[in-house]
Chain A
Amino acid sequence: MAAISRDEVSHLAKLARIDMSDSELAHLAQEMEVILGAVARVQEVAGVDVPPTSHPIPVNNVVRADLVRPSLTPEEALSGAPAQVDSRFKVPQILGEE
């Protein structure tokens, strides 16, 4: 169950959008095997009759009035942008050149 290959880690890294070197992948595959072996214990007690908990303190249906409130100016929102043009975030090409 816990065995995880270098190729699987490579696939996960692609999903997570993180470039990884061969040595990083190999090292991480080893570590993942150990960690997954340890955390897989949760299955021992997680019976079908136990409901899952996503949130410790139940707070439901939090809504707010639909009012305009002060917020960041465009300049403030763009203040941390790596690149910008004409009050917009400038990003590398997304769809390719064609």
Chain B
Amino acid sequence: MAEALAAGTTTSVELTEAHFAQIEKVDVAVHAFLYLDKEGALEQARVSDAKRAEGEVPSSLAGVPLALKDVIVQKGIPTTCGSKMLEGWRPPYDATVVTKLKEAGIVILGKTNMDEFAMGSSTENSAYGPTHNPWDLTRIPGGSGGGSAAALAAFEAPLAIGTDTGGSIRQPAAVTGTVGVKPTYGGVSRYGLVAFSSSLDQAGPCARTVLDTALLHEVIAGYDRKDSTSINAPVPQVVKAAKKLDVKGLKIGVIKELQGDGFQTGVLNRFHEGLDELVQAGAEVVEVSCPTFDYALAAYYLIAPSECSSNLARFDSMRYGIRIGDDGVRSAEEVMNLTRHAGFGAEVKRRIILGTYALSSGYYDAYYGSAQKVRTLLIRDFNAAFAKADVLVSPTAPTTAFKIGENVDNPLAMYLNDIATIPVNMAGIGGMSLPCGLADEDGLPVGFQIMSPAMRDDLMYQVGGTLEAALLAKWGAPLLDNAPVLAAK
């Protein structure tokens, strides 16, 4: 699309209108979007076209439309985080990511659906109803960023922004046959990202190809003084790396602990075929062991709820969001209790209570304290593994997309979906998911995960770009060409 814009064969206004037409046609069935900013998007598109006519092209993605996850604030545009708590709220400022998108001339179509406050693996925890997987509308699109991934897979947007706390970019990418990247922690500013778990949250790029993802990565990455955890270092050269298409001499570490029990056969088959492609392209494969990974999920489900119980204390009904039961008689505390009862959904309450427990005196050392120690051990595992390999690989998710409703009453089964993605967040390193085929059992997309050391995001793009090219040559067409065509309802 960027090429067509540069060649003058289309305009940003045409592209934007075409995507709104597709949204109108299919989003009744997919429900990827929570809010559409038609007027604003078309205005951005007009500005982009006018600037291009004068020779001003702020980035290689200028004029290309994008879908924004509803956890990132955009000035004046409703931002709900998939929660009733923020219904009707219009933020008074732009997130740094949004500022960068606007400066790059990217057109923001609207806000995408997600699990409430990014807590979930299926987008079923949205207060506004689930998003449906374009490959099979009875199945989940992953989560928490299911709306962004589904929008890409349903051709409602060519680019999207997600956020990834335990896999919320990569797992949706895996189950929808799209590409998603969690950059190194601190690589993309968190300013304006509504916090769930501050030491794990990371915004990142989503697209249908590795190169598009890299181009978007370069737009949104970089140091930001408004985020105290932002890394003040040059952005890794991810676009250059994505174009390299060469992995000769690179060592690829296969993580022993992320391919055994609980992984679907079809997922493992496609994963190993992807690995074979990398070997044929000249990479060397070594097996690495990360014994603490068995404890990563347990540690994550203490650290993330603990941080969430603290972060979500801000929703107190005093300064923004909804307020319930303020009759002039009730106290602030009573109103707060009523508002939080009505405003939060079941999963958010579950995690706040779990986090409150893990942080309470008497239990702190046994739970939160121990989880922080596991985090140290996970980082040591990664360091040892990266001493043997340049990048590490695994399937992104243990299964393909499950049915909507299948796991809603079983939080532990739901949490298991993140088993391969969570270690990356715990260590703050980079992770990518790209499609590596369809599972034999159900014909649904499988994700291949590549992990790179902190601030070496370029390495996962180099390997991902090479694998994508090899698979494309083998298939003859992009995987998404196999997805069913969504008819208008």
Task: Spell out A's residues near B (CB within 8 Å).
Answer: 1, 4, 8-9, 12-13, 15-20, 24, 28, 31-32, 34-36, 38-47, 50-57, 59, 62, 64, 72, 76-77, 79-83, 89, 91-94, 96
How far is A79 from B302 in the complex, measured between Cα atoms in Å?
A: 35
CA distance A96 to B333 in the complex (A): 11
Residues of B within 8 A of A13 (CB): 353
Q: Are B376 and A50 in contact (CB under 8 A)?
A: yes
Is A82 touching B323 in the complex (CB atoms < 8 A)?
Answer: yes
List, in ascending order, chain A residues with CB within 8 A of B356's CB: 12, 15-16
Known: A12-B356, A18-B341, A91-B332. A46 touches B411 (CB 8 A): no
Further contacts, 11 of them, CB under 8 A, given A31-B411, A80-B320, A82-B318: A32-B354, A38-B301, A39-B302, A41-B298, A42-B299, A45-B377, A46-B371, A46-B374, A59-B231, A83-B326, A89-B319
Q: B residues within 8 Å of A by Cβ?
A: 89-93, 184-186, 199, 225, 228-231, 292, 295, 298-299, 301-302, 309, 313, 316-323, 326, 328, 330-338, 340-341, 344, 349-350, 352-354, 356-357, 360, 366-367, 369-377, 379, 411-412, 425-429, 454
- Chain B nearest CB from A19 CB (Å) reads 4
Contacting pair A80 B352 (CB below 8 A):
no
Cβ B231 vs Cβ A46 within 8 A: no
**Nearest A residue to B225 by beta-carbon distance?**
A64
User: What distance in Å separates the Cβ of B457 from its nearest Cβ neighbour in chain A?
Assistant: 13
Which 4 pairs of residues, A with B, have the shortest CB-CB distance?
A56-B428, A52-B372, A80-B320, A82-B323
Nearest-neighbour CB distance to chain A for B335, whole angstroms, equals 5
CB < 8 Å neighbour of B90 from A36, A55, A79: A79
Contacts of B334 in A (CB 8 A): 92
The minimal Cβ–Cβ distance linking A35 to chain B, given in whole angstroms, is 6
Contact of B412 among A38, A59, A89 (CB under 8 A): A38
